[in-house]
């Protein structure tokens, strides 16, 4: 479980987050949703420590994340996996070497065979085969996402963060990536936080949703609650597309 309390973040004059309280629950796919520029990435970076909040607290269970000592932070890092919006795969390394990178860096006691086995397990988890020795530039965007996920889970994290996991993917591939992340979350009972502005994701895997709007938490709830909600910011966001609006009006009328 991760909890943010009264979290603020400003860049100079610009106040991006203006006091947000939210709990990201264990074993669930927690979604941060909102329009482009709403501050989703900023919130995610605060959660993983790539940025520091201007004010407020981040709790990893009972750990005060912002004020951890170097050693405590280092050991918590081993429990964190992250999938970046642009994948952030190292382009000079092959798929296999990318996934093995955290093991090479931190699992000094592991033998080469054990590492190989772990890499293959992760590749199987993300349903990729036969690309071990390809370079990131030689595989498709969807496959790159899978490699990114495999790398994020290779150290068996307790927390998984995904920044727009299905941006730039066709709708069908996007759904399979969503399902993959959701399955991993359930199988290992981890705390997953996903940034998205994709409606399909919200309705598929939105177990615990945090809607950001103008720096504030505008709505929270599960996907089941979305359709019943009369929150205007939420309905504006969900039915942003003219096509959905028409369907909705037709259903209502």
Partner 1 sequence: MLRELFNSENSVLYHVGKFVMWQKEIYKKPENWSMYYKEIVRQMYDIGIGSLTIVMIISLFIGAVTAVQFSYQLSGGLIPEYYIGYVVRDMTIIELAATITCLVLAGKVGSNMAAEIGGMRQKEHIDAMEVMGVNTSAYIIMPKIIAAIIVIPLLVSLSAIVGIMGGYLASIATGSVTEADYIKGLRSFFVPYNVLMMYVKAFVFAFILTSVSCYQGYFVKGGSIELGEASTRAVVYSDILILVADFIIALVLTS
Ligand X SMILES: Nc1ncnc2c1ncn2[C@@H]1O[C@H](COP(=O)(O)OP(=O)(O)O)[C@@H](O)[C@H]1O
Stretch that binds ligand X, among 33-41, 71-79, 89-97, 117-125 (CB under 6 A): 33-41
Scanning 38-46, 56-64, 180-188, 232-240 for contacts with ligand X by CB under 6 A, the matching segment is: 38-46
Under rule CB under 6 A, residue 39 binds ligand X? yes
Residue 56: how many other CB atoms lie within 10 Å: 17
Q: Considering only CA atoms, which of 213, 178, 240 is closest in space to residue 18?
A: 213
Q: Is 136 one of the binding residues for ligand X (CB under 6 A)?
A: no
Burial of 253 (0-12, 13-18, 19+ CB in 10 A): exposed
Residue range at the interface with partner 1 (CB under 8 A); choices 44-52, 182-190, 213-221, 230-238: 44-52
Binding of ligand X by 40 (CB under 6 A): yes
* Binding test (CB under 8 A) with partner 1, winner from 18, 77, 158, 223: 77
Q: What is the DSSP letter of 148?
A: H
- Identify whether the C-beta of residue 192 lies closer than 8 Å to the C-beta of residue 203: no
Residues present in the chain in total:
253
DSSP-assigned beta bridge partners for residue 158: none
According to CB under 8 A, which one of 1, 88, 139, 199 is a site residue for partner 1? 88
Closest-CA residue to 98 (of 84, 111, 109): 84
H helices, E strands: number in the chain: 10, 10
Minimum Å gap between C-beta 88 and partner 1 is 4
Of 175, 113, 168, nearest to 141 by C-alpha is 168
Segment lying near partner 1 (by CB under 8 A), choices 29-37, 104-112, 137-145, 185-193: 104-112
Q: Looking at residues 168 to 207 of the shown chain, list those that interact with Mg ion (rule: CB under 5 A).
A: none
Q: Is 85 in the site for partner 1 (CB under 8 A)?
A: yes
Taken in order 213, 219, 220, 224, the sign of the CA dihedral is negative
Indicate which of ligand X, Mg ion, partner 1, none lies near residue 100 (CB less than 5 to 8 Å, by partner kind).
Answer: none
CB 215 within 8 A of CB 56: no
Per-residue binding string, Mg ion, 26-65, x by CB under 5 A, is ---------------x------------------------
Q: Which residues sit opposite 15 in a β-bridge? A: 10
Q: Between 13 and 113, whose beta carbon lies closer to ligand X?
A: 13
Query: Which residue has the CB atom at the shortest distance from Mg ion?
Result: 41
Euclidean distance between CA atoms 160 and 194, whole angstroms: 8
Does 36 bind ligand X (CB under 6 A)? Our answer is yes
Kindly state whether residue 42 participates in binding partner 1, applying the rule CB under 8 A: no
Q: In angstroms, give the least distance from the CB of 214 to partner 1.
A: 25
**Rounded Cα–Cα distance for residues 229 and 67 (Å):** 37
Residue 104 CB contacts under 8 Å (≥ 6 apart), including other chains: 115
| Contact set with Mg ion (CB under 5 A) | 41
Point out which residues bind ligand X (CB under 6 A).
Answer: 11, 16, 34, 36-42
Where does this chain bind partner 1 (CB under 8 A)? 45, 48-50, 74, 77-78, 80-82, 84-86, 88, 90, 101-102, 104-106, 108, 155, 161
């Amino acid at each position: 479980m991760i909890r943010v309390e009264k979290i603020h973040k400003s860049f100079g004059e610009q106040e991006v987050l203006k006091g947000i309280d939210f709990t990201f629950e264990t074993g669930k796919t927690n979604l941060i949703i909102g329009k482009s520029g709403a501050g989703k990435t900023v919130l995610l970076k605060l959660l993983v420590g790539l940025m520091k909040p201007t004010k407020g607290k981040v709790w990893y269970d009972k750990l005060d994340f912002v004020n951890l000592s170097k050693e405590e932070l280092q050991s918590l890092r081993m429990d964190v996996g992250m999938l970046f919006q642009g994948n952030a795969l190292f382009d000079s390394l092959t798929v296999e070497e990318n996934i093995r990178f955290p093991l090479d860096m931190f699992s000094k006691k592991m033998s080469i065979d054990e590492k190989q086995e772990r890499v293959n397990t992760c590749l199987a988890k993300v349903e990729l085969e036969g690309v071990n020795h390809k370079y990131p530039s030689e595989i498709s965007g969807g496959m790159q996402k899978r490699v990114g996920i495999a790398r994020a889970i290779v150290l068996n994290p307790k927390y998984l963060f995904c920044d727009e996991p299905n941006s730039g993917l066709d709708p069908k591939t996007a759904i399979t990536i969503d399902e993959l992340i959701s399955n991993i979350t359930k199988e290992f009972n981890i705390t997953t936080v996903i940034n998205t502005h994709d409606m399909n994701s919200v309705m598929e895997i939105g177990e615990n949703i945090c809607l950001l709007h103008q720096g504030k938490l505008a709505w929270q709830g599960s996907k089941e609650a979305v359709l019943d909600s009369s929150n205007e910011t939420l309905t504006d966001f969900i039915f942003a597309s003219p096509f959905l609006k028409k369907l909705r009006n037709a259903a209502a009328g």
